[in-house]
Chain A
Amino acid sequence: MTTSRPPTSPAETDPGDPFLSVRDLGVRFSTEDGVVRAVDGLSFELRRGQTLGIVGESGSGKSVTMLTVLGLHEPRTTEVTGQIRLDGQELVGAGERTLQRLRGNTMAMIFQDPLTSLSPYHTVGRQIAEPYIKHTGASRRQARARAIEMLDKVGIPRAGTRVDDYPHQFSGGMRQRAVIAMALVCNPDLLIADEPTTALDVTVQAQILDLLADLQQEFGSAIVLITHDLGVVADVADDLLVMYAGRAVERGPAAEVLRSPQHPYTWGLLESVPRLTGDVDQPLAPIPGAPPSLLDPPPGCPFHPRCAHRQRVPGDACATERPELPVGRGAACHLSLEQRRTHVIEHRQPGLG
């Protein structure tokens, strides 16, 4: 068995096309300082009814990728290459009208800050009803009834009267619920949630995640969950994609990635999270340094300047040669599989996965 190609990848065993398929996606922004390669050669797939977790530090390209799927980037300064197929339809280079028909309808997005995601100038009900009217051609009255139904579904008490409230009359948790209601009003097949719970306190977090899981069961939607909370990923994600510097560095089934991570960056992420079952005297081990500038990413493996394990790779492969990410389960790293396995056994962290 070689490290780079497991005998069976999910794509080969699972029949049927994935609902969302991203292939070799590249996103570049022209800025005054030069070209930023925000996403570079990213590929992943997602099936209906499945949840894909994407983790990584700020600036690793998670949000940019998803904004690109929705076509919400600034077209004049952004260059997108590669393929994004949603239910067989190519989205890269698709016209604005096509994208408008899909947005809020087939694919919907929940942004991370519920406090700013709602317009302060319109009632919550109107903002929920708006995409419903646009995409289904419903009347105002039907759309209002639908907005009440959605608010009720996401757990807003007395939805019939709260529908006419303005966002500032809602609490933070209620606003995030309203944003979710807004995203789900047309029963989207793909729901992208960009850190949907970071702005909320922990009890509300759990409720929101339960809510997303319930809705997924009901409608069979595919969910992309962008987060840097590995605990959330462990709870809800089927698959996991770890991103660093605009690239995927590790991917696989979420439980497996968390149980036996194979990339030093993933190790770093896991070791910088405190654990309830861990030894209180053992200090957390944050990853040293900061994410690289995407104006001028480091050659070779983009993680090598911060990697504690690069001396274990013979030669200077880490600094010169870009490691490939194998199809299916795997990590983009020059360490041998044996070296990685040893590290995981030595640093086994109970509690996650």
Chain B
Amino acid sequence: MLRFLVRRTLGAIVILLLISAFTFFLFYAVPRDPALLACGKNCDSESVALIRHNMGLDDPIPVQYWEYMSGIVTGRDFAAGSCPAPCLGYSFDDSAPVWDTLVDRFPTTLSLALGGGAVFLTVGLGAGLIAAWKRGTWVDKTFSSLSLVLSSMQIYFVGPLVLALLVYNNEILGQPSYVPFTENPVEWFSGLLIPWCVLSVIFTANYTRMARATMIEQLQEEHVRMARAKGMSGRTVFFRYAWRGSLIPIVTIFGVDMGSLFGGAIITEATFALPGLGTLAVDSVQELDLPMTMGVMLFAATMIVIFNIIVDATYALIDPRVRLS
């Protein structure tokens, strides 16, 4: 297990290096000059050059990349002061340290991901299991067609609809907002309730379909029939045998989904104006804020990679065949 984790961590570092290099060089492919943008109106070539120098943009791109990457490990010294490791630089836009901004934005995204994940995992799997248990009946058909309809309900359609119905027209719930859990758990919950549910619509529909499909597939397995032939009750067969085999595909998808949600739910955050990593990513890209873009990108990629490792480690818990090899 330790060897596995070490190997996977090394692999993850390689992947992150590739992603960072790709993002960095891609940024310079954009035909706009961040220095010119920062300079504003009334700008002469001298001040642009100065700004460019201060931003470090006058060095060759590979040198910039090297300084950026080594700063993550060792920290960097800027004219304005030193930036301790992990140094992701300062925002071109408002000069705030990128790392601090990420730390500041992450709780919103984390809350959104955890709450949304809890909703779509329980509702989606629950509905999928019920549909599989009652397969072929009207319950199954209702759930299946409902999930088909819901899986095409985009957030930017459902979000405003829910806001119009529950917030603007009827004032059942307040405007979605982020209040830190440590500050006020009740407001944290009520402020995020709508985003959680709206974020979960498509996920729920997909998890319902996936859980139903894998359970039905598992129920046709020979060893599941053998369990019935042994006289095991329907519930035992369903949960102890079929469900166990369905866990691997479900855990895989769930890990990938959570990994990407931890890096920011861009559409949901934008729809409800929540200050998370997703909105940060969009803003920094629009502002040509290279350090911030790199920071969000690397953070999101790290989350996905970490969750992939967690998923692989979970396989060993679920499937004894993975443990030995």
Which residues of A are at the interface with B, using a C-beta cutoff of 8 A?
70, 72, 76, 96, 100-105, 108-109, 111, 113, 116-122, 130-131, 134-135, 166, 168-169, 179, 182-183
Contacts and interface: CB of A to CB of B under 8 A. Distances in A.
Nearest to A126: B240
B216 to A, nearest CB: 12
Interface of B: 136, 221-234, 240-241, 244-245, 318-321, 324
A116 B228 contact: no
Given A96-B234, A121-B244, A179 B226 contact: yes
Given A121-B241, A166-B320, A179-B226, 19 more contacts: A72-B229, A96-B234, A100-B233, A103-B230, A104-B230, A104-B232, A108-B229, A111-B225, A117-B222, A119-B224, A119-B227, A119-B244, A120-B223, A120-B319, A120-B320, A121-B245, A122-B240, A134-B230, A134-B232
A275 B184 CA distance: 85
B261 to A, nearest CB: 29
A120 B321 contact: yes
B222 A104 contact: no
B228 A72 contact: yes
Nearest to B247: A121
A78 to B, nearest CB: 12
Contact of B223 (A72, A102, A117): A117
Given A120-B319, A168-B321, A130 B223 contact: no
Contacts of B136: 76
A76 B138 CA distance: 13
Nearest to B224: A119
Contacts of B231: 100-105, 131, 134-135
A113 to B, nearest CB: 6
B126 to A, nearest CB: 22
B288 to A, nearest CB: 52
Contacts of A183: 229
A111 B226 contact: yes
Nearest to B225: A72
A118 B229 CA distance: 12
A166 B230 contact: no
Contacts of A120: 223, 245, 319-321
A96 B235 CA distance: 12
Contacts of B225: 72, 111
Contacts of B321: 120, 166, 168
16 contacts: A76-B136, A103-B228, A103-B229, A103-B230, A108-B229, A108-B230, A111-B222, A111-B226, A116-B222, A119-B223, A120-B223, A120-B320, A130-B227, A130-B230, A131-B230, A134-B231
Contacts of B221: 116
B174 to A, nearest CB: 46
Given A72-B225, A111-B226, A119 B232 contact: no
A169 B227 CA distance: 20
A73 B256 CA distance: 38
A186 B116 CA distance: 48
A118 to B, nearest CB: 6
Contacts of A76: 136
A104 B228 CA distance: 9
B240 to A, nearest CB: 8
Contacts of A168: 320-321, 324
B320 A131 contact: no
Nearest to B325: A168
A326 to B, nearest CB: 33
A22 to B, nearest CB: 18
A263 to B, nearest CB: 31
Q: What are the 10 A-B residue pairs with the smallest beta carbon separation, nearest first?
A: A104-B231, A104-B230, A103-B231, A116-B222, A131-B230, A119-B223, A166-B320, A121-B244, A109-B229, A117-B226
Between A108, A121, A134, the greatest number of chain B beta carbons within 10 A of the residue's beta carbon is seen for A121
Contacts of B324: 168-169
A104 B221 CA distance: 18
A35 B299 CA distance: 58
Nearest to A76: B136
Contacts of A105: 231
A20 B232 CA distance: 22
Given A119-B244, A168-B320, A70 B230 contact: no
B56 to A, nearest CB: 55
Between B136, B234, B321, the greatest number of chain A beta carbons within 10 A of the residue's beta carbon is seen for B321
B96 to A, nearest CB: 50
Contacts of A113: 222
A78 B280 CA distance: 58
A120 B227 CA distance: 12
Contacts of A104: 229-232
A130 B110 CA distance: 42
A118 B245 CA distance: 12
Contacts of B227: 119, 130
A104 B230 CA distance: 4
Contacts of A103: 228-231
B232 A130 contact: yes
Between A117, A118, A135, A183, the greatest number of chain B beta carbons within 10 A of the residue's beta carbon is seen for A117
A134 B321 CA distance: 27
Given A76-B136, A168-B320, A182 B230 contact: yes
Contacts of B233: 100
Contacts of A121: 241, 244-245, 318-320
